[in-house]
Amino acid sequence: MDQRNMKVAVTILVFCVAALLALGVVMLYSSTMSQDGAHQLVLQATWCGLGLAVCAAGTLADYRWLKRHLWWLLLMAAVAMLGLVLAPGIGVRHGGARRWFELGGLSFQPSEFAKLALVVALAWYGERCGRQMRGCLRGIVIPGLAIALVVGLIFLEPDVGSALVLSAVSGAVLLMAGIRLRYFLPPVLIGLLAVGLFIYHNPMRSGRIYSWLHVEETKGDKGLQAYQAKVALGSGGAMGRGLGESRQKMGYLPAHQTDFIFAIIGEELGLVGTALVLAAYIAILLCGLFIAWNASDTFGLLLGCGITFLIAFQAIVNIGVVTSALPNKGLPLPFISRGGSNLLMILACVGLLLSIARHGRTADAIEESLEGDEEFHDPNPFRARPAGSPTSQAGSPSLSGLRAFHT
């Protein structure tokens, strides 16, 4: 990998993010023209401006400061906010869930901040513990307690969708850090069983599962959103009805500005528009993983993978729900859906990815260092070493994390 490849990855990443942001603003205005669209546009543009400022600050900063000074502050702040939002009189309740702080007409979801804070903490822990991640105590028990605390508080809001996505991202980061599958699988299976029992004994969520399996039968009740989303996607055809010509936004499809905005994209821009959106998310996923893989240290690798998975998993779940491939879960479509908290934190994630890219080491630089220093140790243990290069120094074998999957 040379510097040119990194520049290509960064360029594609920035272009796709910018394109999705622009599409989000256009689709938000289009879907709210009959509902004070100018106000919604100004509000979303305000959050977008704040997010871009945070993204620029993250890009210019050195992401390694997070592991040296800030990771524990971020985690403590996230836990404190998740606790406070559950308190009556502090957290604001909407639709049966207490998830928001409100100040000056703006609302903020602490769960969005907690997602990034937990990923940063797990990336620090994965680098800090190294080989000890292969043991049960350091590999699963200690990080599992931190994950359970954060995810549990989000679950109590309740925000089951965010809790499940964050659990999946956390598990992916731990796998990348090198924990053994025999320690990883039992708690995963127990967690899935617990979620299944929770859904079974919760009438509202078991009703969502039933409506997902029987959309036509429940299209007048719990299956309304799924049915109307399918109608929107189907009526769009290949080229769409045209920008601003959606019929489902006229009160037929609830949450068409937030969780189901992908259906409005399909109706107005057709299969071509939705395919381009999917291509943009796939490009962001590949570019993010490429940047993470070529990070200068293990912390950058784990952090880059974690925030890339955070963006990708939310997009997968949202699109899966809209297309009825997954049961209904209230998750926004990254960069596009209306919602300031998610947009702000997702752009912060992009800024960190760009910082990792800016401080990444190329294979050419590593090879030059190896030629001049037989004891050189690449701090990213997952990166393939140049052909003919000396083996890494004792105590830090290359690809140790990946080998853990097979032992």
Number of helices and strands in the chain (H, E): 16, 3
Give the pLDDT of residue 45. Answer: 86
Mean pLDDT for all residues in the chain: 85
How many domains are there within the chain? Answer: 1
Residue 399 pLDDT > 90: no
Q: Is 285 helix (H, G, I), strand (E, B) or coil?
A: helix
Residue 27: exposed, middle, or buried by beta-carbon count in 10 A (0-12, 13-18, 19+)?
buried
Given a cut of 90, whether residue 261 has pLDDT beyond it is yes
In the predicted model, what is the mean pLDDT of residues 393-407? Answer: 38
Task: Name every residue whose Cβ is closer than 8 Å to that of residue 96 and which is 6 or more positions away in sequence.
Answer: none
Is it the case that residue 222 has pLDDT exceeding 90? no
Residues composing the chain: 407
What would the mean pLDDT of 10-18 be, rounded to a whole number? 97
Confidence of residue 293 (pLDDT cuts 50, 70, 90): very high
Question: Using 50, 70 and 90 to split pLDDT, how confident is the model at 2?
Answer: low
Q: What is the pLDDT at residue 122?
A: 96
User: Quick one: which of 109, 208, 233 has its CA closest to 246?
Assistant: 233
**Average pLDDT of 221-235?**
91
Range of 301-315, 335-349, 357-371 with top mean pLDDT: 301-315
The pLDDT of residue 95: 73
Mean pLDDT value of segment 66-87: 93
214, containing H or E segment:
none
Count CB atoms within 10 A of the CB of residue 175. Answer: 19
Q: In the sheet that 92-94 helps form, which strands lie side by side, from edge to edge?
A: 92-94, 97-103, 106-108
Q: What are phi and psi of 103, to 5 degrees?
A: -150, 120
Give dist(CA 133, CA 179) in Å, integer: 5
At 127 the pLDDT is 94
Q: What is the pLDDT of residue 220?
A: 82
Going by pLDDT thresholds of 50, 70 and 90, the confidence category of residue 50 is: very high
- Taking residues 291-295, report their average pLDDT: 94
- Give the pLDDT confidence score for residue 64 in this predicted structure: 93
What's residue 98's pLDDT? 87
- Structural domain that includes position 359: 3-406
pLDDT exceeding 90 applies to what percent of the chain? 57
122-126, 202-206, 260-264, 381-385: lowest mean pLDDT where? 381-385
**What confidence tens digit (pLDDT) does each residue in 311-356 have?**
999 999 999 999 999 998 878 999 999 888 899 999 999 999 999 9
Q: Which of 77-86, 242-251, 387-396 has the highest mean pLDDT?
A: 77-86
pLDDT, mean of residues 354-379 = 59
